[in-house]
Chain A
Amino acid sequence: MQEYKRIDISKAEIVPIAERMRKQNVYLVMIHAFVNKEGLLDVSWDYAVDPGVESYHVVGETTLPSIGEIYDAAATWPERELNELFGIEFEGLDTTQRLFLPEDLLETQGRGQIMVTPLAELVEKNKKEAGQ
């Protein structure tokens, strides 16, 4: 079984950790996010420290530094994705073009709608909007 190690960090540690990992040629597996039980955003930077994954978590922040200058597109694509799905702002990240979601969805429903709102509530909201 692959080892998975969760390490909680502060927002200020994100960039220094990314720089250290880059120096050691460690692959950035992915940047993930979810809304935890308390309703706070839990964002993780998962690095392939073989044979396991070291997962650095920041909880409760909606604006975070971008590590795009360190990991290039390997970081900016996940950051753009999280910006669209969760509305997380990454400082310095170019978000002028959409990555995944259709532009009309971003404009009309607001960022983060898809991942944060339960499906049942979305269906109800759409019904109301359609006047049913």
Chain B
Amino acid sequence: MKRPVRPSTLVLGLTLFFVLAPSVAKAVQVHGPPEGFVVHMMGHIFFTSALLFLIYILHKYPIDNRPAWKYFKISVFFWLIWNLDTFLVHILSVRLPKEAIITGSHLIYSKLKGPFDIERLLFYFGKFDHFLCVPAMYCLAMSLKDFCKRVEEQLETVGSDEHVI
């Protein structure tokens, strides 16, 4: 029966190989132009998954239905929608040909050139992402404001060691 190779033997062997057979160093790698975009998109995916996870947690362990948590849930929902929207707009902007944006002589003359298929329409309306992220931030602020109010009320009655949540 063949004996399995020990991990320590493998590590020692590899170390010896790299020491005895040196080559060009691979430690520092050059990052080309698409990497920034990919990283940004991965960041969106990561953010989306985190928000989904947060929604799952809030759904699995419901706390109460008072304004603070309601605002927070709405905020998370808007952040999720905003995230998906920006993700989509990023993809669509890559797919959009350069000549589709007409900058003109001045900013006020910038235009999105047709023909307007679904992608181009989605791109155009998707660009209004502040309609999603502003309510998200507003709800977050309101949520924290209500939390603050509750904590202050609580502290007046029960003391600093008792937590509202």
A-B interaction:
no
Where the two chains meet, the residues of A that have a C-beta atom closer than 8 Å to any C-beta of B are none
Where the two chains meet, the residues of B that have a C-beta atom closer than 8 Å to any C-beta of A are none
